A and B are shown apart, each in its own frame.
Chain A
Amino acid sequence: MAALTPYTYIQCPCSDSSTLGRSSGPNSPTGSEGDEDDRTFDPRAPRSNYSLYPLEYLLYCEDCHQIRCPRCVSEEIVTYYCPNCLFEVPSSTIKSEGNRCTRSCFQCPICIGPLAVTSVETKPDPGLLAATDNTAAPHSGPYALTCSYCNWSSTEVGIKFDKPNSIHAQLAKLRNGGTTRLTAKERKERRKDPSYRSQAAATTGSEGGAGPGKEEKLDLETQFANLKSFYQRQLADPNSADTGLASLSDLGFSSPTSLSRIMSIYTGGSLQDKKAKSRVGAMREALESDEGLQIADLDESAAIDKLQTDGHDGTASTAQLLDQIPNLGEAHLHGRSRFLSELRPIPYLLRAKRSKRCPVCRHIISKPEAKIQTTRFRIRLVAGSYIPSLAIRPLSLSSASSTSSSGASVPGALLEPLKPTHFLLTFRNPIFDTIKVTLGAPAKTPGRFPSKVTVLCPEFEIDANTDVWDEALKDSGERERERERERRARRGGFEESTTTSSSNNHNNNNNNNAQNQLEVGKIWERGRNWVSIVVEVVPPSLKLGDSTGDGGGVLREDEDVLEIPMFVRVEWESEGGGDEVAVAARDTSGGSKEAREKRELAYWCVLGLGRIRRS
């Protein structure tokens, strides 16, 4: 069983049905009236997965005074860039060229590693092993894209390049196997050119060998272009060939009139006036290759032959096919056989820097600088600087009370069923005002295996955060000592072994000091801007059958994880007109104390404490 480090997830209010203006309904676990305070949030409810986030992922809207999550913010793209060459791509290029890098950045179609342009050297002369013979060679001759991870080379699919730069443009003109491919512009020109048409017909006719009846083989783009122009012509020309009357007798598949006929039956025909009828009736489907008709090539013997020679190793996996850019003018969909030789280098998908807006008030709550090379943000209102952070740590009490309590002090250790276990919750206040925290947790966690939960101190105050500079200016050692003194003073004459015990991160204080016993309503420990409290948990026994098992005889996935839903309410007083004043300004203008404003923020969070030992 994988170890589980304690975690805290916070619920974004956007998933709360009450904020959506709907009542929560009778199916909420305990609430009958849909009153917010009465409902217990169930971390195991299927929807909870989508509303819980670690604190780092949450933003905060200063205007709405509310938490915002990645799911509810609206994003706007600031800059597009290629993740490989880190060049910015202007949005005009995105419109014309698409969302892939058009320089020379490609990913390996086999393993998705980056591809590098290397020169394909002609076989070195075995007679010349002198040291200088290949000094000039790497900078000439054909080039290929090679993967330095899996050693794939574009020569495997018959692609070589003449120049080492602008590979994207070169690749666009090459098919696998090395034959040229026309760009859209060239195709258009070629289509207009009558001499090409006759020539093309001649070549296909001769090499096809299937006789003169065979249609011209179209590639995907040409077919699409032909079809498009054909339908545009059809739409533009209302009375081309057929009349409405003729269409009635036409039941062929090549005409959409059958559809319109059915439509007219069901709509009673009255809605369709004569003009519309004739117009719809004029449509027909493509009948020649000029119009975009492409007869499906159902002869798969070539693919079967290839499969017999190459075997399974020659075929591409689903993942590899999914990584390919769709419809890049390769084989037709019906003719696509899935061989490695048909894979093409994948141009890098562009990435974007995005700014985020509050979904309610539309204010920007996160905005990165546009330049690609910088990681600075112009605006970055993260929830971590507004709501207290919560750290969880197992607490092992004096060894006198329980002999094997050391098991719980190791993070990630399994929790013993039916044995009271203690956890230390440390709340750290990020804001420059004293906050009052009120916690609410159900006495029993929801689910098939309810754990008993007791928050020993559900109401406390945390001192204000101080300016980072005050802290930085002090010598770190001195600060540490001062904190230590403060700690001792608070705990009341508990003098020995604090330094040594706190040097261990997991705070293995095995002291039998009477002062350190758990007391209801008392804070465990307090610091400059943090407070630790104790939560007592009695994990359930994970025995199936005798408990309230609703059908399931087996333990479901992660059902052994002890998760506590906890409602956190934070209250503080801030300077008035906080809507206008930024947080940074708030503590500098500390002098004017007119109209302190009461603020409140409340949210659900889930504390994941650990896994329970299976009996």
Chain B
Amino acid sequence: MSSKRHSILPPVSQSGPKPPVHFSSSITIADSALLIGTNLIVIHSESVIHPRAKLDSLAGRITVGRRCIVHERATLGAVGTSGKITEAAVTLGDYVTVEVGASIEAGETVIGEGTVVGVGARVGAGAVVGKHCTLTPHTEIAAGEVVPDFTVVYSNGMRRTDKRGVAELKNKGQARQIDVLRRMIPSNPAKFA
């Protein structure tokens, strides 16, 4: 390769205020993650924030649980249609995965433990997604909708219940993945402090 640089990362547009943060010491947050807003952003232990993930606390507090993975270009706290400011904008339980380009709108939106929000999926403001759910890529959850635990949303809104009973196994897999990601993603929590 002609380029000796390790990355080509065009500067991100750091528009808006720098939010107050509360990080656990064991988290991994990429240098190029984007944290904006005015309210508190809380990230619990061992969670991983990929490069170019965007956490926006303009409409309320953002809470990321333990051992969550927020992939690149995912947006937590996207200001949806309501635009309301609430106490807690987005709350992720433990072991939540938010895949590439997924977007979770602000407004007391809750994602339960072990849930996977697929690539490019959208969760509307105020939706409550239960534990160990799977939202397949491009799924849309309407604002205010309640999705029960272990629901799989697939094929443009079809729903079924996950009966595999592998929740614990999945969580363990998540822990393994985090082990690897911690070594790969250079963490720079100091930048956001």
Contacts and interface: CB of A to CB of B under 8 A. Distances in A.
- Contact flag (A, B; Cβ within 8 A): yes
Interface of A: 110-111, 121, 123-124, 126, 129, 134, 146, 149-153, 155-156, 313
B169 A153 contact: no
Contact of A150 (B136, B165, B168): B136
The 3 closest A-B pairs by CB, nearest first: A150-B154, A151-B162, A153-B164
Contact of B172 (A123, A134, A313): A134
A111 B155 CA distance: 8
A160 to B, nearest CB: 13
Given A153-B163, A313-B160, A124 B152 contact: no
Interface in B46-89: none
A271 to B, nearest CB: 60
Interface in B151-193: 152, 154-155, 158-166, 168-169, 172
B103 interface: no
A121 B152 CA distance: 21
Q: Quick one: which of A126, A129, A146, A151 has the most chain B CB within 10 A?
A: A151
Contacts of A129: 172
Tell me whether chain B's interface is mostly helix, strand or loop, or mixed.
mixed
A150 B155 contact: yes
Contacts of B169: 121, 124, 134
B134 A151 contact: yes
A111 B164 contact: no
A104 B164 CA distance: 20
A110 B136 CA distance: 14
A126 B171 CA distance: 12
Contacts of B159: 313
Nearest to A153: B164
Contacts of B165: 123
B168 A124 contact: yes
Given A121-B169, A124-B168, A124-B172, A150 B163 contact: no
B172 A151 contact: no
A155 B134 CA distance: 18
A138 B159 CA distance: 29
A151 B168 contact: no
A150 to B, nearest CB: 4
A157 B168 CA distance: 22
Nearest to A152: B160
Contacts of B161: 313
B95 to A, nearest CB: 14
Interface of B: 134, 136, 152, 154-155, 158-166, 168-169, 172
A123 B134 CA distance: 21
A150 B164 contact: no
Contacts of B164: 146, 151, 153, 155-156
Contacts of A151: 134, 152, 160, 162, 164
30 contacts: A111-B154, A111-B155, A111-B158, A121-B166, A121-B169, A124-B168, A124-B169, A124-B172, A126-B168, A134-B169, A134-B172, A146-B164, A149-B136, A150-B136, A150-B154, A150-B155, A150-B158, A150-B160, A151-B134, A151-B152, A151-B160, A151-B162, A151-B164, A152-B160, A155-B163, A156-B163, A156-B164, A313-B159, A313-B160, A313-B161
A547 B165 CA distance: 66
Contacts of B172: 124, 129, 134
A124 B171 CA distance: 12
A313 B152 CA distance: 13
A110 B160 contact: yes
B99 to A, nearest CB: 13
A267 to B, nearest CB: 57
A134 B172 CA distance: 10
A146 B169 CA distance: 15
Nearest to B164: A153
A149 B154 contact: yes
A131 to B, nearest CB: 8
Contacts of B162: 151
A310 B79 CA distance: 39
Q: Quick one: which of B134, B166, B168 has the most chain A CB within 10 A?
A: B166
Q: Quick one: which of A126, A150, A155 has the most chain B CB within 10 A?
A: A150
A156 B82 CA distance: 40
A30 to B, nearest CB: 47
Contacts of B154: 111, 149-150
A442 to B, nearest CB: 43
Nearest to B168: A124
B162 to A, nearest CB: 5
A100 B165 CA distance: 31
A313 B160 CA distance: 7
A150 B134 CA distance: 8
Nearest to A156: B163
A588 B136 CA distance: 57
Contacts of A156: 163-164
A313 B162 CA distance: 12
B189 to A, nearest CB: 25
B101 to A, nearest CB: 18
Contacts of B134: 151
Contacts of A149: 136, 154
A121 B166 CA distance: 9
Contacts of B155: 111, 150
Nearest to B133: A151
Nearest to A129: B172
A395 to B, nearest CB: 38
Q: Quick one: which of B154, B163, B169 has the most chain A CB within 10 A?
A: B154
A134 B170 CA distance: 12
A584 to B, nearest CB: 41
Contacts of B152: 150-151
Given A124-B169, A149-B136, 8 more contacts: A124-B172, A134-B172, A146-B164, A150-B136, A151-B134, A151-B164, A313-B160, A313-B161
Nearest to B137: A149
Contacts of B163: 153, 155-156
B184 to A, nearest CB: 18
Contacts of A110: 160
A614 B165 CA distance: 56
